[in-house]
Every structure is written in structure tokens, then in C-alpha cells.
């Protein structure tokens, strides 16, 4: 789960990590008032749940009231990667001498949290990671020890020569680790963490994402969730036991199992088609689930054909076939369906589908080819 910059900084501030003075605004007039209050220069920053705001023109430095108004008018309502900007953060301008990167995430290989810092913070950190990985220091944190003071100090010494800064950073890094652990975050990032002209560390930006699996024990974090329209659909699907992600193609997919669902999408692409969605219906033959899944797929108007790919493992194919027949009797859909059913009791399952006049194919590749040709026919 993602949250906005202003929310991340509120959390950081709660842990006494110094952040910029700033005010959240929903309208041009609020921006004007906020800018007057904070004084000039200040920065108007789009609050959207996606990266690349700066490059999209969603962050503007303003020097006077007029510029603040212009920036607010331009940024509010702006589209950034499909997200409409509904609120902006007005942050006090800060003069600084240097930009640091500090981030915490989970490393699969060490199976621990890893702290990453770099002297080359700022918007180009991803390029630094690619072109000059030695400039990013990584420290795996043993969960038994946590961010012990000595470790925080070690990291701080890797960054700073000035002991005053080392002391500040040692304190800040321990707090940052505590935020990470306390909130079940999957990422906490301050970029940039600046050294101000009066030699203080200050978080100019903040980013946090959280482990979805842990939200059950993080009610305060969960309350910050602002799902987009597509995500609402995904959440609604999840409540019905379905895992759904909308894509842009024309071939609707219904598959059991996440891995097989991904492989099915790959297969469609391999044969030149475009999947309309990722949809994992899980391991049940419950007709209601099939009905819910079918309704979800056809709610996307781009869908021209539905491809059902079921591998019967624990769930037997004859049960799945009965579920499909029952479901398709209840919802009459006009677009063609291609069914591929394989695995345990597939013979019996295919017989049931044949008797119900539902066309089947034998392999995944056949299913993909047929679905693609049907989607093309449909367009003609």
C-alpha cells in the first residue's frame, strides 16, 4: 500500500525526524494563503500516488504570490501517469548545501531489512543506482540487533566527515528504522535528506509503502489508504476471493492460480494478442466465484473474448466444469468464450462442457490462438 508524501512526512515527524514546514492544500486560494504564511520562496508539490512528479512538472519552486497562484492553477487537476492531482503540498523553501539519500527496504537475499544511503541523493538516485552502484552504501540489519547505535554511527560515518552531522544522523537513522519496523513498511525513503546551510539534517521529501500482508495489524496505516478507481475494483474482487488487475487488451482471462494466470497472459502475448486483465480465481469450483469473475471481466468494455484456463489440481476438473456450466447458464454473455480445462478428471470435465455446448480446446497455446482469432473476428 502506498501513501502520499505529506502522510509519510507526518509519520516521520511523529518520530521526531525533522521535516520541512508545509501545508496541505486542495485549492488555489488555499495555496495562496499557505504560501503567504510560510513565506517565499516555497515549493508547490503535487500529491499523487505515483513517482516521477518532478519530471511531469508537478513540482514548482515559487518566489512570489503571483508564481504561487500560477503554479497552483497549473498543478491542481494535472494528470500524472493517469492520476489526477487533487491536492498539493506547499513546503517552505530551504537553502541547502548537499543532498543525501536514505532508505530502508527488505532484501530477499539477506532476508533482512537493508539500509541504503548515498551522498548522491536527489532526483537522479535511480541513475546513480544503475551507473554508479558503489556510490550507494548498503547495510543489512540483523533483526536481533536492530539499528543499534553503533550501526547507525557506522552508517553515518560512511556519509559524513563532520562529527556534528554524524551525531544528528546517528539519531535520525535509528528513528527511521523504528518507523520502518513499527509500521510494517516495505519501503521508507528520504530523498533528499538535505544538509541545510546552517548544518542541520532535514527531510525534504518522504516516501513510504507498506506490506499488504501486515495491514491487519496496522489500522492507522490502513486508514490512510486511498485506492484509485482500478484499485477499488481490485479490492472489490479480493473481497470475493478473486485477484484481479485490469490491463489494456481485449482478451479477458479467467485462470486458477497466480503463476498460471501470469503464464496465460504471457501466452496470449506470445501469440500476438493483448490480455485485458490478470484474474486469479483461486482454487475453488464454486459457481458463484465463476459468476463474479465473469461479471468482473465483462465490466471492461474492451473485452472481446473470454479465455478460461483452468488446471484441475486439488479442485477436480469435473467440479470446475459443473461450476462453469451453472455460472454460464445464469449469466448470458454475448461475447465468445474459449475454455481450456486440464488436469485431474479432465476427461469427465470436458464431457460435461461438451454436453452443455461449451467449446473447449486442449492446450494453453491452442486456447490463446483461438481467443486471439475470435477477438479479431469480433472486431470485423
Partner 1 sequence: MSILVNKNTKLLVQGITGRDGSFHTQKMIDYGTNVVGGISPGKGGQTVHGVPVFNTVADAVKETGANTSVIFVPAPFAADAVLEAAEAGIELVIAISEGVPTLDMVRITPYLKKKGTKLIGANCPGLISPDEAMIGILPGSIFMKGKIGLMSRSGTLTYEMVYQLTHSGLGQSTCVGIGGDPVAGLYYEELLQMFEEDPETEAIVLIGEIGGDAEERAAQYIKEHITKPVVAFIGGLTAPPGKRMGHAGAIISSGTGTGAEKIAAFEAVGVQVARQPSEIPELLKKLLKI
Catalytic hit among 22, 99, 189, 369: 189
Closest CB to partner 1 among 154 and 316? Answer: 316
Cβ atoms 305, 336 nearer than 8 A: yes
**Which letter does DSSP use for residue 156 in this model?**
H
Is 101 marked active-site?
A: yes
Closest CB to partner 1 among 94 and 129? Answer: 129
H or E segment and range at residue 183: none
Phi, psi for residue 333 in degrees, rounded to 5 = -110, 150
Cβ atoms 337, 308 nearer than 8 A: yes
**What DSSP string describes 326-351?**
HHHHHS---S-EEEEEEETTHHHHHH
Block residue for cell numbers 469427465: 348
- For residue 111, give every residue at least 6 positions away whose Cβ sits within 8 Å of its Cβ, in sequence order, or none: none
Residue 182 DSSP SS3: helix
From the CB of 74, what's the least distance to partner 1, in Å?
Answer: 26
Closest CB to partner 1 among 171 and 184? Answer: 184
How many C-beta neighbours within 10 Å does residue 111 have? 9
Catalytic hit among 101, 177, 234, 244: 101
From the CB of 263, what's the least distance to partner 1, in Å?
Answer: 5
Closest CB to partner 1 among 209 and 373? Answer: 209
Q: Which residues bind partner 1 (CB under 8 A)?
A: 106, 108-109, 111-113, 126, 142-144, 181, 184, 186, 211-214, 216-217, 243, 245, 247, 255-263, 265-270, 275, 278, 280, 283, 311-314, 342-344, 363-365
**Which letter does DSSP use for residue 2 in this model?**
B
Which positions are annotated as active-site residues?
Answer: 101, 189
Amino acid at each position: 500500500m502506498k501513501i502520499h508524501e505529506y502522510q509519510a512526512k507526518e509519520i516521520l515527524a511523529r518520530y521526531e525526524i525533522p521535516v520541512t514546514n508545509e501545508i496541505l492544500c486542495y485549492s488555489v486560494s488555499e495555496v495562496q494563503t499557505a504560501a503567504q504564511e510560510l513565506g517565499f520562496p516555497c515549493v508547490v508539490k503535487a500529491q499523487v500516488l505515483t513517482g516521477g512528479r518532478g519530471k511531469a512538472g508537478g513540482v514548482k519552486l515559487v518566489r512570489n504570490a503571483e508564481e504561487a497562484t500560477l503554479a497552483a492553477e497549473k498543478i491542481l487537476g494535472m494528470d500524472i501517469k493517469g492520476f489526477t492531482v487533487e491536492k498539493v503540498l506547499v513546503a517552505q523553501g530551504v537553502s541547502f548545501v548537499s543532498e543525501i539519500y536514505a532508505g530502508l527496504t527488505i532484501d530477499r537475499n539477506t532476508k533482512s531489512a537493508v539500509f541504503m544511503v548515498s551522498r548522491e541523493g536527489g532526483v537522479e538516485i535511480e541513475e546513480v543506482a544503475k551507473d554508479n552502484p558503489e556510490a550507494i552504501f548498503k547495510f543489512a540489519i540483523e533483526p536481533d540487533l536492530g539499528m543499534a547505535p553503533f550501526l547507525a554511527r557506522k552508517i553515518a560515518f560512511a556519509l559524513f566527515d563532520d562529527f556534528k552531522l554524524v551525531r544528528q544522523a546517528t539519531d535520525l537513522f535509528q528513528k527511521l528504522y523504528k518507523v520502518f519496523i513499527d509500521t510494517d513498511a516495505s519501503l521508507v525513503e528520504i530523498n533528499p535528506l538535505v544538509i541545510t546551510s546552517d548544518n542541520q539534517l532535514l527531510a525534504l521529501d518522504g516516501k513510504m509503502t507498506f506490506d499488504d500482508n501486515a495491514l491487519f495489524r496496522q489500522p492507522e496505516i490502513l486508514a490512510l489508504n486511498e485506492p484509485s478507481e482500478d484499485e477499488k475494483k481490485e479490492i472489490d474482487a479480493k473481497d470475493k476471493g478473486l485477484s484481479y488487475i485490469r490491463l489494456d487488451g481485449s482478451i479477458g482471462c479467467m485462470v486458477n492460480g497466480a503463476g498460471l494466470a501470469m503464464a496465460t497472459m504471457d501466452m496470449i502475448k506470445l501469440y500476438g494478442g493483448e490480455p485485458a486483465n490478470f484474474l486469479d480465481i483461486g482454487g475453488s469450483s464454486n459457481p458463484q466465484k465463476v459468476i463474479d469473475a465473469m461479471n468482473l471481466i465483462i465490466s471492461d468494455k474492451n473485452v472481446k473474448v473470454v479465455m478460461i484456463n483452468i488446471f484441475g489440481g486439488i479442485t477436480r476438473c469435473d467440479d470446475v466444469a459443473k461450476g462453469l456450466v451453472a455460472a454460464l447458464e445464469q449469466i448470458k454473455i454475448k461475447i465468445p468464450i474459449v475454455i481450456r480445462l486440464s488436469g485431474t478428471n479432465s476427461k469427465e470435465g470436458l464431457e460435461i462442457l461438451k454436453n452443455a455446448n461449451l467449446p473447449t480446446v486442449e492446450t494453453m497455446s491452442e486456447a490463446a490462438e483461438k481467443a486471439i482469432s475470435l477477438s479479431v473476428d469480433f472486431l470485423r
